[in-house]
């Protein structure tokens, strides 16, 4: 007997017609699902990971309905797949993404979910997983997973250890995450493996840019999130990052990953802040008018509306093209950092 229940992000549940509450201004373009494991507890069991920012973490006291600031109600798997199957053409998702928590049966559950989706659905599937063995990664590729994400979250080994590893008695190790990313690259191929970095965990912008360079050289796609304090997590009192600092890191990611620029074209001060980009004003304007640098980053077709930002703002990752007003604000804020 396979999995019976699954969590669905509330925005995806709304598109699917599972959730009848308020309509969402910017609907998700990806269907976000999350593994659900009840164990002996009907509200579900916590992840074996203990990441300091995460409401699913082993020692967190947050609601298990949350991942980041988004609510994920539980539904019957059959009901979700029926809704997916009969979704009207104008509501079709560009991608399905399965967030996989760390628990004993997670691989078997994930395999079952993927197999069930693949029975009558050809939408590309991404998975966000804890580090799995090579054999498991091969098996997931074989049954139809297109892309895999393994989140580093932290931008330095020291912060990783403190927030996801030894410092929180967590199961993760920086080198092992990198080794699994390399294994995933060999199995899923270049450009099909991604990781996420959370900005605001105590790293400098230079730390982030150097790691983005390393990951881009490995052909790993990088997604950025702003840190979001969630009640009941050990980091609930930490503040989100400064918006301008986040904008500069978004621009750095875009220049390195999409325009093949090098670190020599970004100037940092002694504190590791970005103080200049080797760009002129026209180039900056073109980048802003195109919007891409400031949208949610990750797999193609993923917009994760308001995953880390309140709809009332400030918006860190935009889930859609920028408005003229937003372009103007971003241009004015970045103007003094270009030539
Ligand atoms: S492994 Fe993922 S779900 Fe588990 S605590 Fe860490 S971030 Fe949260």
- Mean pLDDT computed over every residue of the chain: 93
The model's pTM: 0.95
Residue 108 three-state SS: helix
Residue 131 DSSP class = P
Ligand 1 and 198: CB distance under 6 A? no
Helical H runs in the chain?
10-16, 77-85, 106-118, 134-142, 157-163, 174-188, 205-217, 243-259, 281-290, 324-334
- The mean per-residue pLDDT over the stretch 298-319 comes to 87
Tell me, in angstroms, the distance from the centre of ligand 1 to residue 87's CA. 30
Range in 54-58, 178-182, 302-306 with the lowest mean pLDDT: 302-306
Ligand 1 and 100: CB distance under 6 A? no
- The mean per-residue pLDDT over the stretch 89-108 comes to 94
Q: How far is it, in rounded angstroms, from Cα 84 to Cα 189? A: 28
- Here the tokens at position 232 are 């009941």
From atom 1 of ligand 1, which residue's Cα is the shortest distance away?
49
Q: Does position 317 have pLDDT exceeding 70, yes or no?
A: yes
Q: How far is it, in rounded angstroms, from Cα 138 to Cα 184? A: 8
What are the pLDDT digits (tens) for 254-285?
A: 999 999 999 999 999 999 999 999 999 999 99
Cα-flanking dihedrals φ and ψ of residue 338, to 5°? -120, 170
Q: Does position 43 have pLDDT exceeding 70, yes or no?
A: no
Which residue, chain included where needed, has tokens 């308020």? 22
- Would you kindly state where each structural domain of the chain is located, as residue ranges? 5-337
Q: Does position 42 have pLDDT exceeding 60, yes or no?
A: no
CATH class in words for 5-337:
alpha beta
What percentage of the chain exceeds 90 in pLDDT? Answer: 83
Q: Does position 106 have pLDDT exceeding 70, yes or no?
A: yes
Nearest ligand 1 atom to alpha carbon 55: 8
From atom 4 of ligand 1, which residue's Cα is the shortest distance away?
49
Is the N-terminal amide bond of 314 cis, ω within 30° of 0? Answer: yes
Query: What is the band of 25 on the pLDDT scale with cuts at 50, 70, 90?
Result: confident
Return the best residue to mutate from 49, 98, 167 for the ligand 1 pocket (most ligand atoms within 8 A of CB): 49
Sign of dihedral through CA atoms 116, 180, 299, 21? positive
What are the pLDDT digits (tens) for 128-150?
A: 999 999 999 999 999 999 999 99
Q: Does position 40 have pLDDT exceeding 60, yes or no?
A: no
- The mean per-residue pLDDT over the stretch 161-189 comes to 97
Range in 13-27, 131-145, 311-325 with the lowest mean pLDDT: 13-27
- Here the tokens at position 220 are 């790993």
Q: How far is it, in rounded angstroms, from Cα 322 to Cα 184? A: 33
Greater model confidence, 328 or 69: 328
Tell me, in angstroms, the distance from the centre of ligand 1 to residue 253's CA. 24
From residue 221, give the alpha-carbon distance in Å to each of 94, 210, 214, 302, 338: 18, 14, 11, 13, 25
**What pLDDT is attached to residue 202?**
98
- The mean per-residue pLDDT over the stretch 104-117 comes to 95
């Amino acid at each position: 007997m396979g999995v019976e229940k699954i969590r669905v992000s509330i925005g995806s549940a709304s598109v699917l017609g599972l959730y009848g509450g308020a309509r969402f201004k910017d609907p998700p373009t990806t269907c976000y699902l999350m593994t659900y494991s009840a164990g002996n507890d009907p509200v579900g069991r916590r992840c074996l990971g203990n990441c300091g920012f995460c409401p699913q973490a082993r020692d967190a006291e947050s609601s298990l309905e949350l991942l980041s600031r988004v609510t994920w109600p539980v539904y019957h798997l059959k009901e979700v797949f029926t809704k997916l199957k009969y979704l009207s053409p104008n509501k079709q998702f560009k991608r399905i993404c399965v967030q996989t928590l760390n628990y004993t049966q997670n691989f078997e559950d994930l395999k079952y979910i993927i197999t069930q989706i693949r029975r009558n659905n050809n939408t590309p599937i991404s998975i966000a997983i804890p580090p799995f063995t090579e054999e498991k990664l091969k098996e997931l590729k074989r049954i139809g997973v297109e892309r895999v994400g393994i989140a580093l979250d932290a931008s330095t080994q020291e912060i990783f250890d403190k927030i996801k590893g030894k410092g929180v008695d967590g199961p993760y190790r920086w080198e092992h995450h990198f080794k699994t990313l390399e294994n995933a690259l060999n199995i899923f191929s270049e450009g099909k493996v991604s990781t996420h970095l959370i900005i605001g965990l105590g790293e400098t912008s230079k730390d982030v840019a150097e790691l983005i360079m390393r990951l881009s050289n490995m052909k790993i796609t990088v997604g950025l999130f702003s840190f979001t304090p969630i009640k009941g997590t050990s980091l609930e009192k930490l503040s989100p990052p400064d918006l301008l600092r986040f904008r500069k890191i978004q621009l750095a990611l875009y220049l390195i990953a999409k325009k093949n620029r090098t670190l020599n074209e970004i100037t940092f001060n002694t504190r590791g802040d970005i103080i200049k980009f080797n760009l002129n004003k026209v180039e900056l304007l073109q980048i802003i008018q195109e919007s891409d640098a400031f949208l949610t980053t990750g797999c193609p077709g993923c917009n994760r509306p308001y995953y880390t930002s309140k709809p009332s703002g400030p918006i860190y990752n935009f889930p859609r093209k920028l408005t003229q007003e937003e372009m103007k604000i971003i241009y004015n804020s970045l103007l003094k950092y270009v030539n």
